[in-house]
A = this chain, B = another copy of it.
């Protein structure tokens, strides 16, 4: 039986990365594309609730059923599953993102939020990101990684409630060191704002900043990406810090306080 593969991203239906991912996905099943009609980078797990969503048929993928949507990547997943398919696809692929989504960037990433939303709905889901923001980036190493992983995940499935966060360094396939399953690094952004004045003298602000890796552990995505490996972080949506539960039990209280 032919399997249904849902493909989405956050760079929009027009991005090179999703076109490359559709080429790979088509080797393994019937592809359905539902992706944003404009760039939605940095949208995280946002959903559209205060205005209605628009969705239109899109002809940009040769012979592949595709829709462009006015909403976020997570909206796209929900529309695909609950409005178009009206059932779960066999696999969800998100990306290939133009730019890395390693470490804590997973929280800001629309690409990975789409994959996490897939996991929430019980769909084996993988997000792919390439460490190259260029709109004309070379996706060949990332496509090789995807071609290697997809059949294995289709055969063996994924642990419950877990999506894969796959990042590929900006190297040629020949220079790729291999693939490592590892943890999300605890890096963060040292943000800055570029403050300017508009033509009326009123201030406006551009978010900018520098990425800072304070994680000293070796088994992390940032560590292996620097070494030239593609990385896979099993990513779930249980944000409970179980290790902290006991430490905080002193806040428990019964009755009036």
Contact = CB atoms under 8 A, between A and B. Distances in A.
Interface of A: 39, 41-50, 52-55, 72, 74-75, 78-79, 81-83, 104, 106-108, 113, 116, 120-121, 144, 148-149, 152, 158-159, 161-162, 164-165, 177-184, 186, 188, 191-193, 195-196, 202-207, 209, 232-245, 247-255, 257
Contact of A159 (B39, B239, B247): B247
Q: What is the count of identical protomers in the complex? A: 2
B106 A239 contact: yes
A219 to B, nearest CB: 8
Given A238-B184, A240-B234, A245-B181, A49 B41 contact: yes
B120 A116 contact: no
A241 B237 CA distance: 9
Contacts of A233: 239-240
A-side interface mostly: mixed
Contacts of A249: 181
A230 to B, nearest CB: 9
A86 to B, nearest CB: 10
B251 A241 contact: no
Contact of A252 (B50, B108, B144, B180): B180
